[in-house]
Structure 1
Amino acid sequence: MGYGERNSWIGLVVAIASITVYLLLVVPQLASTPVADIDWAQPMLWTIVGGIVASVLAGIVWGTLVRMRHDDDRPVEDVRDRDISRMGSRVGQGFLVLGILGALVLCALTAEWFWIAQTLYVGAALSALVDCTARVIVYRTGMP
């Protein structure tokens, strides 16, 4: 498994984990707490920052373990890796744009801050998931 594919897998696993943690912290509050009183900002911030830190640390640890087993394995990115990266970004960006447009609509409708933030979060989360998933699929099946 090459450097790019390894990082795509890490991104996918960490994105799923951090989104799951955030949902487990926030969704249960919807049943018993008014939307204006839901504590969403800190969990959102911590799961985003935690996801970034976890991705970096997982990349370092996995890369170190691979280098220990195969000393000749260098983090090399070739044309195929760059093409796959661009393709994944293009596919994922659509969801980010939809999240931003949705948040703008909610702002125009003067919706609660909670719903605006959740719309932005969902757009970013879907963007990351689709981006990493597309990259992993292409690494496994080849470019279309």
Structure 2
Amino acid sequence: MVAEERAAWAGLISLVLTIPVYVVVLVGASDPTASWLPIMLWTIGAGIVLTVLIIAVWALIARAREGDAVAATDIRDRDISRMGTRVEHAFLVIAGLGVIALCAVSADVFWIAQTMFAGFAVSAFVGGIARVIAYRRGLI
């Protein structure tokens, strides 16, 4: 498994762990509409840190098992990365349209932020899944 595939998996693992925690903490808050920002920022930070830690530990294990060949990349990795980015952007556009619609109806900032956050999460999840599938089955 190349570094880019491990990074895709690490992102998915981190996302699957952090988003449910965010939802549980937000729902459990006494007033979620007033305390959402610190919860969201901590979740984003924790997700980034967790992803970096997973990538680093996994890279150390892979290097110990397979040597320096594990860091090699090729044109396929670049193409898969581009395809994953295109998939992610499509979902970000959908989330952006949702945010614009919420702004048009003067929705509360809480709902606008939650919609964009969900859009980022779905985008990262779908893009990660697309990358993993491309690594496993190849690009079409």
- Whether TM-score is above 0.5 comes out as yes
Q: Secondary structure at the match of 1:73?
A: helix
Match of 1:125 in 2: 121
Partners of 2:28 and 2:61 in 1: CA distance: 38
Q: Which residue of 129, 134, 138 maps to 1:138?
A: 134
Range moving further from structure 2, 18-27 or 85-94? 18-27
**Within 5 Å, which residues of 2 pair with 1:110-121?**
110-121=106-117
Q: Secondary structure at the match of 2:71?
A: coil
CA contact (8 A) 1:3 1:75 kept: yes
Partners of 2:27 and 2:91 in 1: CA distance: 21
1:16 aligns with 2:16: yes
Aligned-partner residue type, residue 82 of structure 1: R
1:36 Cα deviation from its structure 2 partner: 3.9
Match of 2:25 in 1: 25
Q: Which residue of 29, 52, 64 maps to 1:56?
A: 52
Spell out, residue by residue over 1:81-121, the C-alpha distance to the aligned partner (whole angstroms, 9 max, x if none): 01111111111211111111211221221111110001100
Aligned-partner residue type, residue 8 of structure 1: A
CA RMSD across the alignment: 1.6
CA contact (8 A) 2:98 2:115 kept: yes
User: Mind listing any 5+ residue stretches in structure 1 that lack a counterpart?
Assistant: none
Range moving further from structure 2, 5-14 or 64-73? 64-73
CA contact (8 A) 1:9 1:136 kept: yes
Partners of 2:74 and 2:20 in 1: CA distance: 33
Partners of 1:74 and 1:36 in 2: CA distance: 46
Partners of 2:3 and 2:126 in 1: CA distance: 19
CA contact (8 A) 2:2 2:70 kept: no
Distance 1:110 1:65, change over 3 A: same
Q: Which residue of 65, 82, 93 maps to 1:69?
A: 65
Residue identity (%): 47
User: Mind listing any 5+ residue stretches in structure 2 that lack a counterpart?
Assistant: none
CA contact (8 A) 1:84 1:143 kept: yes
CA contact (8 A) 1:66 1:73 kept: no
Match of 1:96 in 2: 92
TM-score (norm 1): 0.89
